[in-house]
Amino acid sequence: MLWSGWGDPAKAAALPEPLRKLLQDMLGVRAPETPAASFGEVRLAPVALSPLVLAELRAVVGDGHVRSDADARIRHTRGKSTPDLMRMRAGDGSDAPDAVVLPGSHAEVAELLGLCAAHRVAVVPFGGGTSVVGGLVATRRGFAGVVALDLARLNRLISVDTESMTAEMEPGLRTPQAEQLLATHGLTLGHFPQSYEYATLGGFAAARSSGQASAGYGRFDDMVVGMTVATPRGTLDLGRAPKSAAGPDLRQVILGSEGAFGVITSLRLRVRRAPTRRIYEGWRFASFAAGSAALRRLAQEGPVPTVLRLSDETETMIGLARPGELGGLAADAGCLAIAGYEGSGEVTALRERAAAVLSESGGLHLGTEPGESWAHGRYSAPYLRDSLLAVGATVETLETAGFWSNLPRLYDAVRLSLQASLGSPLVMCHISHVYGTGASLYFTVVTAQSGDPLAQWETAKRSAGEAIVAAGGTISHHHGVGRDHREGYAAEIGELGVEILRGIKDRLDPRGILNPGVLIG
Residue 125 annotated as lining a ligand binding site = yes
Residue 435 resides in a domain: yes
Q: What distance lies between CA 375 and its chain's CA centroid?
A: 18
Instruction: Specify the range with the lowest mean pLDDT, choosing from 269-273, 303-307, 342-346.
Output: 342-346
Last residue of a domain, one of 376, 397, 412: 376
Do 445 and 428 sit in the same domain of this protein?
yes
For residues 297 and 359, give the distance between their C-alpha atoms in angstroms, rounded to a whole number: 12
Do 161 and 226 sit in the same domain of this protein?
yes
Query: What element of type H or E holds 45?
Result: none
For residues 272 and 290, give the distance between their C-alpha atoms in angstroms, rounded to a whole number: 33
* pLDDT of res. 197: 96
- What tens digit of pLDDT does each residue of 120-176 get? 999 999 999 999 999 999 999 999 999 999 999 999 999 999 999 999 999 999 999
Residue 131 annotated as lining a ligand binding site = yes
Do 300 and 370 sit in the same domain of this protein?
yes
Q: How many CA atoms lie within 13 A of 45 on its CB side?
A: 13
CATH number, domain with residue 363: 3.30.70.3450
CATH number, domain with residue 237: 3.30.465.10
Residue 139's region, left for phi above 0, alpha for psi from -120 to 50, else beta, is beta
Percent pLDDT > 70 in the chain is 98
Do 425 and 392 sit in the same domain of this protein?
yes
Assign 323 a pLDDT band (cuts: 50, 70, 90): very low
Mean pLDDT of 416-439: 96
Residue 356 resides in a domain: yes
Instruction: Tally helices (H) and strands (E) across the chain.
Output: 18, 18
Residue 264 annotated as lining a ligand binding site = yes
Residue 405 belongs to what domain range? Answer: 381-484
Total number of domains in the chain: 3
Do 253 and 266 sit in the same domain of this protein?
yes
| DSSP conformational letter for 43 | B
Do 306 and 241 sit in the same domain of this protein?
no
Do 250 and 315 sit in the same domain of this protein?
no
The residue count of the chain comes to 521
Contact 330, 298 (CB under 8 A): no
* pLDDT of res. 326: 39
Residue 290 resides in a domain: yes
Residue 27 resides in a domain: no
Do 201 and 244 sit in the same domain of this protein?
yes
- Options 280, 383, 411, 442, the catalytic residue: 442
Residue type, 60: V
Residue 247 annotated as lining a ligand binding site = no
Residue 16 annotated as lining a ligand binding site = no
Question: The pTM is what?
Answer: 0.95
Q: Whole-number mean pLDDT of the chain?
A: 95
Residue 259 resides in a domain: yes
Instruction: Give the DSSP letter string of 243-312.
Output: S--SSS-THHHHTT-TTSS-EEEEEEEE-EEPPSEEEEEEEEESSHHHHHHHHHHHHHHSPPPSEEEEE-
Mean pLDDT of 377-403: 94
Query: What element of type H or E holds 100?
Result: strand 99-101
Residue 263 annotated as lining a ligand binding site = yes
Residue 262 annotated as lining a ligand binding site = yes
- In the sheet that holds 122-126, the strands lie side by side as 66-67, 99-101, 146-150, 122-126
For residues 105 and 123, give the distance between their C-alpha atoms in angstroms, rounded to a whole number: 16
* pLDDT of res. 17: 86
Query: Is 442 one of the annotated active-site residues of the chain?
Result: yes
- What tens digit of pLDDT does each residue of 64-116 get? 999 999 999 999 999 999 999 999 999 999 999 999 999 999 999 999 999 99
* pLDDT of res. 364: 96
> 405: buried, middle or exposed (CB in 10 Å: 19+, 13-18, 0-12)?
exposed
